Structure 1
Amino acid sequence: MNVLWYYIIFFISVYIVAILFRNKLKVDVYGPILMRRTQKMKGWIDSIAQASPRFWRWTMNIGIPASVICMGIMVYLLILSLKYMLQAPQAALLLPGVDIPGSPIYIPIFSGIVALALLMVVHEFGHGILARAQGVGVKSIGVILVAILPGAFVELDEEDVEKAKRSVKLRIYAAGSMFNLGLAAIAWVVLIILTMSFIPYAFQSDGLKITSVTPGGPSEGILQDGMVIQSINGYSVGNRTAANKFLNNTSPGDKITLTTNQGTYTVTSTGNPNNASTTYIGIRGDTNLVVKPSVAQTYGDVIPWFLYNLADLCYWIYALNIMVGLFNLLPMKPLDGGIIFEELLRYKIPENITGKIVSCVSWLMIGIVTLLIVYGTVPGIMQMF
């Protein structure tokens, strides 16, 4: 059973438990939306905000124009992705552990869940910290589940927000994505330090390790997770780059012979679910690394692998915070970018016209995003069942 089924079973179970025990668990149910509010951690947000209110305000004075610039870049990239949509998928579902055939992204389950949890907490705390630094009240903090999309939220005092100056509102709205980008920058620095220093010193490559066999793909039932590919059609592959280079010179329908540490197997390739002209064998792999003997004698195996896994976690914290943080700045309500866009238009344009412009732009963005997601993921999802 593929991981997607586990997600479906898990979320159905969550809904059943939430509905049956809503009073005991203090869960609010609004159709497909579940919300649980709490007063915990409000004091922690207050203490961080009040430690240096001026610092947070001036930081977001930079964050506001940065958000607007990122908004423009994201709109350009979103429209540009339509041009390349027919050549390769431009969207993916950010579900850790779910390997959708043809999807450009596969997120490992442990690193992905930790990274997504940090992403949501940092994003919402960013809103809360900037709100409290400027005297806007926080009514509650909580978690939310919309169908199968989990999230977190900070509920601000609506009266305080309504009374606040436009600059105050913009700082609060920009804070979420700016905090995400800040966390991404920290993770990137740690990642660079580890990958440029210790990991090259401690590890050496030894083939291509299969990290995932895509459900419904040509290799399902033949290859297994954890196998190490040593050669393809007799061509030695010491790492992922060498394997990709060889496969790029093959065609859909070719028989691919893979020599692994567990035996030799033959897979008949097909066309990629999202690009039938490219060879697809239905596996994801990464360079198989082993600790160098000299390093193992000095440090053992535990420390090198701990630092390697830390680098992997930092990579996904960096990647997911960049992707989601920038996506959230699209001028599309109810995303923060849509609210920022609306607030900026109100500065010079009457309310009734502003509402129409924001609505039209939001629906246009929603249409493009939906098209990219459907085209980029549905063919692969259908292949999984």
Structure 2
Amino acid sequence: MVDLITVVAVIIGFWGILYIIGKNYREEKEEGLQIDFFVALWRTKRFVDFIDQVGTKFRGFWKTYSTLAIGIGFIGMAYVFYTLFNLALQSLKTKTATPGVQLVIPGITIPLWYGLVGLIVVMFVHELSHGFVARAEGLPLKSVGLVLFFVIPGAFVEPDEEALNKASLLSRLRVYAAGSMGNIVAAFTALLLLSFVLTPIIQPAGVEISNLVPGSPAQNYLQKGDVIVSIDGQEIKAVEEFFDIMNKTTAGQMIEVGVLRNGNMLKFNISLGSHPDNPKKGYLGVYPAQYITSRIGFDTIILPISFSLYWIYILNLGIGLMNLFPIIPLDGGKMLDDILKSFLPSKIAKSITYLFVGIGLFLLAINLFPALRNLLG
């Protein structure tokens, strides 16, 4: 909790200084830096020509790609809404907080560097997809750029809003659906690389301690980052093997834990405590994570690539699907709103859109509560 308060104080201090020294950058500009309340935008036209060339040269591909994206978008929209609705209903029925939406904060809720790599891929894939399809549809782009909202970095492609609003329904749906389609394609590309290229050359090599429970039996002996490789002389490579052994222990039992620490093999005799859920069961008090190594060496290259691809997969799939949630200003909300306006009277369409926004925000609040509670301790 203290660490979180410190982080928030530093972030607010950063924005305070930025707002003071950036007083000349508060007006909206076609290019350059713009600073607003907890929002910093940087616009440029340098990459517009590149997006234009790719979008127009391969117009047939992007039209087919984005037409397919519309179908996948509506399926994803229904899936996300149904999933969050069921999770919220389960939470209300059982009165237990069921996690449905996770906050994405590098260094706090996800790993710092791998999380940043994953988020950068999410942003660029998403926005470039929007841009390529917009140009394939003949829609002009005003600028591209980067954005920082509080602590969340982002990228954007800014189409001409007037031209977009005048475009046909099919063109607008293609542009809106393209972003999440790009994220889904990126996610499954990363998954394929992990499954067929990297997984065959990596192997489990122990259980890494990602954290320790305060006051637990392990706290006086083990450290965060230690790799458990044996218990009572029995070799441990996979997390499942660790759980199998620990599930057979009893409270008060003395076990010998072998760990790797900074390349050195250490052994500790630890008396187990009582498990919080079963007083008779042994309790060590560690948060285990799978430790892996490369079968062919080059760990310093292969493992970072593997972890990066894993987070690229997780973040692209999760954020890509969440962006299809049918509330404005998300792409899913824009798609639903355009469909309703095209086939229903304006007042009815607006009412349904507002209804989805209200229900959607309610579902998000219920599903975000466990994540917020965990974050605040």
TM-score, L = length of structure 2: 0.82
Q: Which runs of 5+ in 1 are unaligned?
A: 100-106, 273-278, 296-300
Which of 322, 329, 332 aligns to 1:334? It is: 329
Structure 1 segment 84-233 matched on structure 2, within 5 A? 84-85=90-91, 86=96, 88-98=98-108, 107-199=110-202, 203=203, 205-210=204-209, 212-213=210-211, 218=216, 223-231=222-230
The answer to whether 1:382 aligns with 2:350 is: no
Structure 1 segment 195-344 matched on structure 2, within 5 A? 195-199=198-202, 203=203, 205-210=204-209, 212-213=210-211, 218=216, 223-231=222-230, 237-246=236-245, 259=257, 260-261=259-260, 262-264=266-268, 265=270, 281=285, 283-289=287-293, 291=294, 295=296, 301-302=297-298, 304-344=299-339
Cα offset, 1:316, TM superposition: 1.2
Structure 2 counterpart of 1:239, which letter?
A: A
Cα offset, 1:305, TM superposition: 4.4
Q: Which runs of 5+ in 2 are unaligned?
A: 26-31, 261-265, 278-282
Q: What is aligned with 2:52?
A: 46
Distance in 1 of aligned mates of 2:256 and 2:82: 42
Cα offset, 1:196, TM superposition: 4.5
Q: Give 3-state SS (helix, strand or coil) of 2:119's partner.
A: helix
User: What whole-Å deviation, never above 9, does each CA across 1:13-32 have from its counterpart, x for those lacking one?
Assistant: 54134313326675323333
1:323/1:267 CA distance change after superposition, 3 Å: farther
Distance in 2 of aligned mates of 1:355 and 1:346: 8
The answer to whether 1:367 aligns with 2:362 is: yes
Report sequence identity in percent: 27
Cα offset, 1:310, TM superposition: 1.6
1:160/1:280 CA distance change after superposition, 3 Å: farther
Distance in 2 of aligned mates of 1:150 and 1:188: 24
Contact residue 209 and residue 288 of structure 1 kept, 8 A: no
Structure 2 counterpart of 1:286, which letter?
A: Q
Structure 1 counterpart of 2:36, which letter?
A: Y
The answer to whether 1:27 aligns with 2:25 is: no
Cα offset, 1:371, TM superposition: 1.6
Q: Give 3-state SS (helix, strand or coil) of 2:85's partner.
A: helix
Q: What is aligned with 2:62?
A: 56
Greater alpha carbon shift after TM alignment, 71-80 vs 187-196:
187-196
Structure 2 counterpart of 1:157, which letter?
A: D
Distance in 1 of aligned mates of 2:20 and 2:254: 52
1:125/1:216 CA distance change after superposition, 3 Å: farther
Cα offset, 1:143, TM superposition: 2.1
Contact residue 229 and residue 258 of structure 1 kept, 8 A: no
1:8/1:47 CA distance change after superposition, 3 Å: farther
Contact residue 222 and residue 267 of structure 1 kept, 8 A: no
Structure 2 counterpart of 1:170, which letter?
A: L
Structure 1 counterpart of 2:15, which letter?
A: Y
The answer to whether 1:73 aligns with 2:72 is: no
Contact residue 97 and residue 369 of structure 2 kept, 8 A: no
Contact residue 239 and residue 288 of structure 2 kept, 8 A: no
Which of 353, 357, 367 aligns to 2:352? It is: 357
TM-score, L = length of structure 1: 0.80
Quick check: which has more Rg, 1 or 2? Answer: 2
Distance in 2 of aligned mates of 1:190 and 1:14: 39
Greater alpha carbon shift after TM alignment, 307-316 vs 85-94:
85-94
User: What whole-Å deviation, never above 9, does each CA across 1:311-365 have from its counterpart, x for those lacking one?
Assistant: 2211111111001000110101111001101011112111222112111211211
Q: Give 3-state SS (helix, strand or coil) of 2:343's partner.
A: coil
Greater alpha carbon shift after TM alignment, 16-25 vs 76-85:
16-25
Cα offset, 1:267, TM superposition: 7.0
1:358/1:228 CA distance change after superposition, 3 Å: same
User: What whole-Å deviation, never above 9, does each CA across 1:147-178 have from its counterpart, x for those lacking one?
Assistant: 33332222211111121111110000001000
Distance in 2 of aligned mates of 1:152 and 1:268: 50
The total of aligned residue pairs comes to: 354
User: What whole-Å deviation, never above 9, does each CA across 1:211-239 have from its counterpart, x for those lacking one?
Assistant: x2268685667642320113458765331
